Amino acid sequence: MSPEKNTPTRRALAVASMGAGIAGSYLGYVLQRAFLGDAQSEAKLKSAHASAARRMRNEMQALRGPAMKLGQMLSLQTGILPDEVLAELASLQMEAPGMHPSLVRVQIKQGLGGEPEDIFKEFTPEPFAAASLGQVHRAVTREGEHVAVKVQYPGIRQAITNDFKLFRAVSKPAQASGHIPKAAIDEMEQQIIAETDYRREAENIEFFGKQLTPLAFVHIPRVLRAYSSDKVLTMSLMRGQHLEDFLARRPSQKLRDQLGANLCELFFFQVLKVEALHADPHWGNYLFLPDGGVWLVDFGCAKYLSPETVAYLRSVFLYPGATDSADFQRLLEKPYRLTGQKLHPATRRALVSFAENFYRKVYSPWPEKRQPFDFADKGFLEDYLRESKNLLRTKGVMIEYIFMARAEMGLYHTLHRLKARVPTSDIVRKYL
């Protein structure tokens, strides 16, 4: 029993105390709020996130943030959380501590080089919504335009980096066993860190604004570059209602169907035509209009897909033949061959089962059986969760699909909440 000096636990502790000592940790904030939360979090930002969050148990709220995303991945694979909770988790968003006006002032001063009153004609010190890693304020520019100003919480990037250091250290055993591939952690960290750069988000907004013009029902804000930096992002004001408020008005089945179809079309248009994805489909990131229009709000998390991935998806979507045919097997193997990986028999079986038990039910490949799919029935969500768990357990998931799966899950969740009936296959066929 020689005393091991450099055990993973010891290393983890060292990393944790170092990180936490220097810049704190996002996880730490989350825990802090769990213990001391009441006063502040109640006074916090009224928004659809808040109303969505109300539906969650309090402990679950404490799991938000990157830690939550990691936890979600872990739990998917080990099955520690019940499916309903998972579904809720999937569509939650990262949230930063609320900022009081004095701190907002400091952040604006650092980000835009002047006091809010000097930069803007008007600036409302109280936020009107929570945003990923910050909060949103109303303002009027010198030119008289009404805008939304997103302000980031200080030091958030460092805090997230610290959490990842810690997570990497404590998850060494899981990485060794292949339950959490290192590449998956890298991908997550990269994406989450990217969300802290508002300049990159501005680029995403402009990219999607241009690419999504063919979809008339999609609205995307305009970035005001002169009023933006890496920590402050100023956009034209958006209209519409968050899902909860929209549903509270009891929209007609026809309108809900229309919206459902629009959201579905938006998803497949992005995947198959734009080859990039607004990948944080939390319902707080959609604003709905009474004419079926949709505003996209948060572009922090955008996933750009490789042409090979898109080609693969094209080939398997609505595949009409038998799933045990040699042709289909070849299709499944292709992305693995391209990246030099091996498709394990267990993963292959899980993929076939996914196709049979979920995709063929929701997206019928056969024209004669085609009718709008009714998302009101919870069964399809359960199928989706069961099959994805099944697939993840085989440890054979391609990293490329992690964020796409997140977006897909968010889409299904929203469609379910809308109780929409959507001609799914017709929509997919349009873009194949």
Please, which residue, 153 or 208, has the CB nearer to other proteins?
A: 153
In the three-class reduction of DSSP (H, G, I as helix; E, B as strand; rest coil), residue 212 is classed as coil
208 sits in which H/E element: helix 198-211
Q: Which stretch binds other proteins (CB under 8 A): 24-32, 62-70, 308-316, 328-336?
A: 24-32
> 294-296 and 302-304: which strand pairing?
unpaired
Please, which residue, 22 or 248, has the CB nearer to other proteins?
A: 22
Q: Which stretch binds other proteins (CB under 8 A): 36-44, 181-189, 218-226, 300-308?
A: 36-44
Q: How many CA atoms lie within 13 A of 318 on its CB side?
A: 18
Cα–Cα nearest to 354, from 314, 387, 394: 387
For position 365 contacting other proteins by CB under 8 A, the verdict is no
For position 9 contacting other proteins by CB under 8 A, the verdict is no
Q: Would you give the end-to-end CA distance of the chain in angstroms?
A: 62
Q: Candidates 7, 17, 40, 78: give the one binding other proteins (CB under 8 A).
A: 40
Q: How many Cβ atoms from other residues are within 10 Å of residue 203's Cβ? A: 14
For position 17 contacting other proteins by CB under 8 A, the verdict is no
To other proteins, the closest distance from the beta carbon of 119 in angstroms equals: 17
| CA dihedral of 399, 404, 409, 410, whole degrees rounded to 10 | 130
Q: Which of 163, 257, 280, 298 is catalytic?
A: 280
Please, which residue, 23 or 136, has the CB nearer to other proteins?
A: 23
For position 34 contacting other proteins by CB under 8 A, the verdict is no
Q: Which stretch binds other proteins (CB under 8 A): 95-103, 247-255, 261-269, 352-360?
A: 95-103
To other proteins, the closest distance from the beta carbon of 155 in angstroms equals: 4
Q: Candidates 82, 125, 321, 367: give the one binding other proteins (CB under 8 A).
A: 125
To other proteins, the closest distance from the beta carbon of 366 in angstroms equals: 56
To other proteins, the closest distance from the beta carbon of 224 in angstroms equals: 22
Q: Candidates 90, 99, 381, 415: give the one binding other proteins (CB under 8 A).
A: 99
To other proteins, the closest distance from the beta carbon of 30 in angstroms equals: 11
Length of the chain: 432
| CA dihedral of 360, 364, 369, 372, whole degrees rounded to 10 | 120
DSSP-derived secondary structure for 281-342: --GGGEEE-TTS-EEE---S-EEEPPHHHHHHHHHHTT--S-TTSHHHHHHHHHHHHHTT--
For position 19 contacting other proteins by CB under 8 A, the verdict is no
> Binding mask 141-180 vs other proteins (x if CB under 8 A, - otherwise)?
------------xxxx-xx---------------------
> Binding mask 49-68 vs other proteins (x if CB under 8 A, - otherwise)?
--------------------
For position 42 contacting other proteins by CB under 8 A, the verdict is no
Q: How many Cβ atoms from other residues are within 10 Å of residue 333's Cβ? A: 15
Pick left, alpha or beta for residue 159 (phi over 0 → left; psi -120 to 50 → alpha; otherwise beta). alpha
**How far apart (Å, rounded) are the C-alpha atoms in residues 291 and 126?**
30
For position 100 contacting other proteins by CB under 8 A, the verdict is yes
Assess whether 377 carries a catalytic annotation. Answer: no
For position 372 contacting other proteins by CB under 8 A, the verdict is no
At residue 62, what is the residue type?
A: A
CB-based contacts of 78, cutoff 8 Å, min separation 6: 179
Please, which residue, 2 or 102, has the CB nearer to other proteins?
A: 102
Q: Running DSSP on this structure, what letter comes out for residue 364?
A: -
To other proteins, the closest distance from the beta carbon of 36 in angstroms equals: 4
The angle subtended at Cα 318 by Cα 312 and Cα 321, nearest 5°, is: 95
**How far apart (Å, rounded) are the C-alpha atoms in residues 418 and 97?**
30
For position 106 contacting other proteins by CB under 8 A, the verdict is yes
For position 39 contacting other proteins by CB under 8 A, the verdict is yes
For position 32 contacting other proteins by CB under 8 A, the verdict is yes
Q: Quick one: tokens of 220? A: 């995307």
Please, which residue, 35 or 144, has the CB nearer to other proteins?
A: 35
Q: Candidates 36, 176, 183, 432: give the one binding other proteins (CB under 8 A).
A: 36
The beta strand positions in 350-410, using DSSP E, are 373-374
Q: Catalog residues that contact other proteins under the rule CB under 8 A.
A: 22-24, 28-29, 32, 36, 39-40, 97, 99-103, 106-107, 110, 125, 153-156, 158-159
Catalytic residues: 280
